Structure formats: C-alpha cells, structure tokens
Amino acid sequence: MTSGQRTYGESALLTPANLMTAFRLAVAPVFIYLILMHRISWWTSAVGVLAAASDYFDGIVARRHGTTTSGAFLDPLADKVIVLGSLYALILARPHGLSSFIAPAIIITVREAWMSVYRSRSARRGISIPASKLAKWKTFVQDLAIALCVVPVVAHHAWLGEVTIWVAAVMTVYTGWQYYAEGRRRGARAR
C-alpha cells in the first residue's frame, strides 16, 4: 500500500484503530480499579502500559489506513476516560499523599470539558480542529505523571509525579488555548 492510500472510508466504524481504542476504553475501568485497590503494583503498571501502548499504536494504524469520524471522536474520549479516571483514582487512593493532584486534576477536567463543547460546536459549523503534536505530547506527559505514581520503582518518590502532573496541567491549558485560536482562525476563513 502506498503512503496516503485509504483502506477505510471516513464513516467506517469497525476498523483496526477503532478496535484498539475500544480495547483502551474496556481496559480503563480495570486500570482505575487497580489504582484504587493496589495503587503501587506491577499489575497496575502492566495494565497502564497496555492502555498507553494501544493509544500509541492506534494512532499509527489510523494514519496508515485512514482516519475516521468515529475514531476522531472515540480516541480523545478514551484518552479523557483513562487520564481523568486515573487522576481521580489516584486522589482517592491516597487522599493525603496525593492531595497536590487535586488542583491539576480540576484544571485538566475543566479544560477537557470546555474543549469537548468547543470542538462539538465548531464541528456543527463545519470547522474541524485536528489534534496538534503538542496536544499528543500533553497526553504523553499526563500518562507519564500517572505512571510515576503506580510503577513500584519510582512511585515512592511522590515529587516526581507531582512535578510532572503540574507540567501536564500547564500543557493542557496551553494546548486548549491553541485549539481555541485555531478554531477561531478556521472559523474566520470559513466566513
């Protein structure tokens, strides 16, 4: 297959990339449960690695076979479920030890909710706002912050997760502003 050739149409639902995203959505409750019950463990870490790996590979597969409308909706949804669910599970699992996660978790939640509404309204006006490279790095940093709280060899150094989650929160706000500016620019061009 040559580069740029589509295997699936934009409206396709049952694609390999979407199946990987569905797997990530199915694994999310297991990961959240493991955080709540056994926060620092290799099992929790292994399930988290599976979720992160499926996120990485579904992006590669989607680009190779062609992105779909359903994938554009499901992939960010899976990211939000895993990141937000994990952040709040970490807070609940160790309310005193990870209380510094509360403010970043609220910042990330507000930005994600606002961005979902903004992108949805933009889409109704025919304006598509694709994910930026920095937004993908933002998701990676969020995942890294969570990993630093569950992987046994580093989880006892709470400051690593705390610093990383604040970096992720700053990136989350900045990429939200980027999406807003890009949506306004595209909207102005569409008029």
Mean pLDDT across 41-70: 82
Inside any domain, residue 145:
yes
Inside any domain, residue 172:
yes
**Helix pair 16-38, 69-93: axis angle to 10 deg:** 10
Mean pLDDT over each residue of the chain, to the nearest integer:
85
pLDDT on residue 89 = 94
Domain of 83, in residue numbers: 16-190
pLDDT on residue 67 = 67
Does residue 91 carry a pLDDT above 50?
yes
Question: Which range has the top average pLDDT, 3-17, 33-47, 94-108?
Answer: 33-47
pTM of the model: 0.84
Q: What is the band of 9 on the pLDDT scale with cuts at 50, 70, 90?
A: low
Inside any domain, residue 8:
no
Percent of the chain residues past pLDDT 90, beyond the cut: 46
Inside any domain, residue 3:
no
pLDDT on residue 2 = 45
Inside any domain, residue 10:
no
Q: Which residue has the higher pLDDT, 131 or 161?
A: 161
Inside any domain, residue 175:
yes
Distance set, CA 150 to CA 36, 85, 90, 93, 161 (Å): 11, 14, 9, 11, 9
Percent of the chain residues past pLDDT 70, beyond the cut: 85
Domain count of the fold of the chain: 1
Cα–Cα distance for residue pair 136/117, rounded to 1 Å: 19
Give the CATH number of the domain where residue 84 resides. Answer: 1.20.120.1760
Out of 58-62, 156-160, 178-182, pick the least confident: 58-62
Residue 125: count other Cβ atoms within 10 Å of its Cβ: 11
Longest Cα pair distance anywhere in the chain, in angstroms?
54
Start-to-end C-alpha separation, the chain = 38
Does residue 56 carry a pLDDT above 90?
no
Inside any domain, residue 11:
no
Mean pLDDT across 184-188: 80
Inside any domain, residue 158:
yes
pLDDT on residue 1 = 43
DSSP code, position 171: H
Does residue 12 carry a pLDDT above 60?
no
Q: Which residue has the higher pLDDT, 73 or 153?
A: 153
